[in-house]
DNA sequence: TTCTAATGTAATCGC
DNA sequence: GCGATTACATTAGT
């Protein structure tokens, strides 16, 4: 496919098998790595331990691909037992937000303190601040984009008349 | 002389947790975080641009009101801020489903390809696959639940006689 | 009503 | 820690 053929018409890209399977580009080097799941211990050590991962991994990732040729990799060992999503209460969010206004990079001691106060694990706090910073960054990027766009519109308007 | 005077309080830290928690909920001049609404650019850059986001955030909250008039549904402000629901055609669904059978995690290149073919935005494709995966997972959970329930019933039946 | 497109965000992985 | 991506819970449109 990649070889140059003497064709008058260059065909558009086609649904190749590789592409549909998400295999185009590279081959899978799927070494199943056991992810870090500390909270699983409590609830699932009764079942046959050998089938737990082989089965699950397979059924979720038998179609999982390698880094696609022109973009990102979704070649992660697909989440086997993902931590149950934490639902923060309104009061917790309120506190976290107010801290965030003052310090968006709380050190370990402040995080521990918060964890104690809010009755959350320190890990949840850390993740929350990470995601919160990402959100802030997104919003900044977006408003910047809008401002640039608007500036261009204004230029156009002025030039047009 | 050698011993320092006993002071009841000597505080150097200003931002203690207590302090931060003490003023919770009062003056958070939080910069309103803007949601990601790329499609607004295309259709509403003529209107007064300064009110665009202030309006939209609140209208999500109390949007659960009746339309003032049925004919103007689309133009009323409770709709602002949410992408109009995409209605896929049967043919589009058919293709998407057939791809999904093979690969439920299409990479960016396959998604772009699909987008071109089906005349959809790549984002619609991505969201579709996300929702489709969620649906599959739901159905798996449900059937598993049924199987477990049935197994229990059988146990009961056998034990009961 | 049911199903599902869209949204927000917690959790995950790789760097 | 960050960027990218996913899963999950929820809202809302048809």
Count CB-CB contacts under 10 A for residue B161.
5
What are the pLDDT digits (tens) for A22-54? 766 544 444 445 566 767 655 444 443 333 333
CA B61 – CA B51 distance, rounded (Å): 17
Instruction: Give A88-95's long-range contacts (Cβ < 8 A, gap of 24+).
Output: A88/A120, A88/A128, A92/A118, A92/A120, A94/B24, A94/B25, A95/B21, A95/B24
DSSP A38: G
In chain A, residues 89-128 whose CB comes closer than 8 Å to chain B: 94-95, 97-99, 101-103, 110, 113-114, 117
The single residue listed with the structure tokens 């002389």 is B1
Residue B152 has pLDDT above 70, yes or no: yes
CA of A110 to C1' of D8 (A): 29
Residues in A closer than 8 angstroms to B34, CB to CB, are: 139, 142-143
Pick the residue from chain A with its C-alpha nearest to B29. Answer: A101
A138 touches strand D (CB under 7 A): no
The single residue listed with the structure tokens 């309103």 is B32
| % of chain A residues with pLDDT over 90 | 32
Closest CA of chain A from B125, distance in Å: 14
CA of A62 to C1' of C4 (A): 25
pTM higher than 0.75: no
Residue A20 has pLDDT above 50, yes or no: yes
Best residue in A68, A111, A132 for a mutation probing chain B (most B CBs within 10 Å): A68
CA B47 – CA B43 distance, rounded (Å): 9
Pick the residue from chain B with its C-alpha nearest to A157. Answer: B46
Looking at per-residue pLDDT, the higher value among A32 and A63 belongs to A32
CA A92 – CA A105 distance, rounded (Å): 17
A72:B104 CB<8 A: no
What are the pLDDT digits (tens) for B54-112? 333 333 333 333 333 444 444 443 455 788 899 999 999 999 999 999 998 988 888 88
How many angstroms separate the Cα of B4 from the Cα of each of A120, B1, B7? 41, 7, 9
Per CA to C1' distance, which residue is closest to D9?
Answer: A85
Mean pLDDT of chain A: 69
B104:A63 CB<8 A: yes
Tokens at A21, concatenated: 């399977």
Looking at per-residue pLDDT, the higher value among B34 and B12 belongs to B34
- Residue A112: HSE in the Cβ half-sphere, 13 Å Cα cutoff: 3
Closest CA of chain A from B31, distance in Å: 9
Chain A contact present for B42, CB below 8 A: no
CA A97 – CA A99 distance, rounded (Å): 5
Instruction: Return the minimum-mean-pLDDT range out of A8-22, A91-105, B54-68.
Output: B54-68
Question: Which chain D nucleotides are covered by protein, judged by CB under 7 A?
Answer: 1-10, 12-14
Spell A92-107 as b/e; 16+ CB within 10 A means b.
beebbebbbeeeeebe
Residue B150 has pLDDT above 70, yes or no: yes
pLDDT at A24: 64
B107:A153 CB<8 A: no
């Amino acid at each position: 496919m990649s070889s140059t053929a003497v064709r008058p018409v260059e065909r558009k890209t086609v649904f190749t098998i590789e592409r549909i399977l998400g295999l185009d580009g590279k081959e899978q080097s799927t070494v199943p790595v056991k992810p870090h799941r500390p909270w699983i211990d409590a609830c699932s050590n009764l079942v046959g331990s050998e089938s737990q991962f082989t089965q699950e991994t397979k059924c979720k990732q038998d179609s999982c691909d390698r880094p696609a040729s022109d973009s990102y990799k979704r070649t992660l060992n697909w989440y086997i037992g993902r931590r149950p999503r934490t639902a923060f209460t309104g009061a917790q969010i309120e506190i976290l937000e107010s801290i965030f206004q003052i310090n968006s990079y709380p050190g370990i001691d402040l995080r521990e303190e918060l964890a104690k106060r809010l009755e959350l694990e320190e890990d949840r706090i850390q993740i929350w601040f990470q995601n919160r910073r990402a959100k802030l960054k997104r919003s900044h990027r977006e408003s910047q984009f809008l401002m640039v766009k608007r500036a261009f519109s204004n230029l156009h308007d002025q030039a047009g008349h």
